[in-house]
């Protein structure tokens, strides 16, 4: 299922109030921080696709492809722009600390066991993992990024040209920067995927469809 929306330009970033302080005259204004954001941090007019735990901003020429079962429960979310893609996942994390460092190392070890090359690289979101894996179509480059939030972690996997050229990520990076996580208050085991569901009106229409990716 693919969702294509027109770009919403209003207020894509919110100000990080935790970093705001009284400034002397002439001092620079506090910087705007990029998302993903917790839902408690966002109060804007950006159009977003509500998939439950993830709210994905509408960005021009980006398609949101989801694979869901007949009940509307989503197994996979992939954003596509041209020849590049960004697969998204969101997971429960402890209140006291982030889990990306630990998860990244486990991904790296798994890739190495499978014979893939993998190395850690400093990126805009901190330490990323760059890898090259074998596929039936030949070698494929992947770029793993992780963002630790309050009791959640977002994992993104860039594929295609953006995996080796982050500067070209453009609209896909904008989606990640404008992403909102609705963690909910329910206790969940650490690393458990947070629930993703199709909007009710779409799930009702697709109730008898297969689990193959569908377009809307």
Tell me the pLDDT band of 13, cut-offs 50, 70 and 90.
very low
* pLDDT score, position 12: 31
pLDDT of residue 200: 75
The predicted pLDDT at position 4 comes to 45
Instruction: Indicate if the pLDDT at residue 42 is higher than 60.
Output: yes
Give the pLDDT confidence of 149-177 residue by residue, as tens digits: 999 999 999 999 999 998 888 999 999 99
Q: What is the dihedral of CA 192, 214, 199, 64, to 10 degrees?
A: 70
Which pair of tokens denotes residue 180? Answer: 């909102």
- Report pTM: 0.80
Mean of per-residue pLDDT scores for the chain: 83
- Cα dihedral 92, 72, 177, 8, rounded to 10, equals -150
pLDDT of amino acid 167: 84
Q: What is the pLDDT of residues 57-89, one digit of tens each?
A: 999 999 999 998 888 899 999 999 999 999 999
Look at residue 206 in the predicted model and tell me its pLDDT. 54
Average pLDDT over residues 19-31: 39
177-203 pLDDT tens trace: 999 999 999 999 999 999 999 987 666
């Amino acid at each position: 299922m693919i969702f294509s929306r027109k770009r919403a330009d209003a207020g894509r970033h919110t100000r990080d109030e935790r970093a705001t302080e009284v400034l002397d005259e002439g001092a620079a204004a506090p910087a705007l921080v990029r998302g993903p954001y917790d839902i408690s941090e966002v109060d804007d007019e950006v159009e977003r696709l509500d998939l439950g735990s993830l709210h994905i901003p509408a960005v021009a020429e980006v398609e949101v492809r989801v694979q869901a079962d007949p009940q509307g429960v989503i197994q996979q979310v992939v954003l596509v722009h041209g020849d590049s893609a960004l697969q998204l996942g969101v997971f429960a994390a402890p209140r006291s600390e982030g889990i990306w460092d630990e998860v990244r190392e486990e991904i790296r070890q798994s890739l190495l066991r499978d014979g893939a090359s993998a190395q850690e690289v400093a990126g805009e979101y901190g330490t990323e993992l760059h890898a090259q894996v074998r596929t039936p179509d030949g070698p494929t480059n992947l770029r793993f990024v992780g963002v630790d939030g309050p009791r959640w972690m977002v994992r993104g996997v860039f594929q295609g040209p953006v995996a080796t050229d982050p500067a070209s990520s453009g609209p896909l990076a904008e989606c990640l920067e404008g992403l909102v996580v609705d963690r909910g208050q329910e206790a969940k085991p650490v690393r458990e995927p947070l629930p993703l569901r199709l909007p009710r009106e779409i799930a009702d229409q697709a109730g008898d469809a297969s689990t193959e990716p569908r377009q809307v």
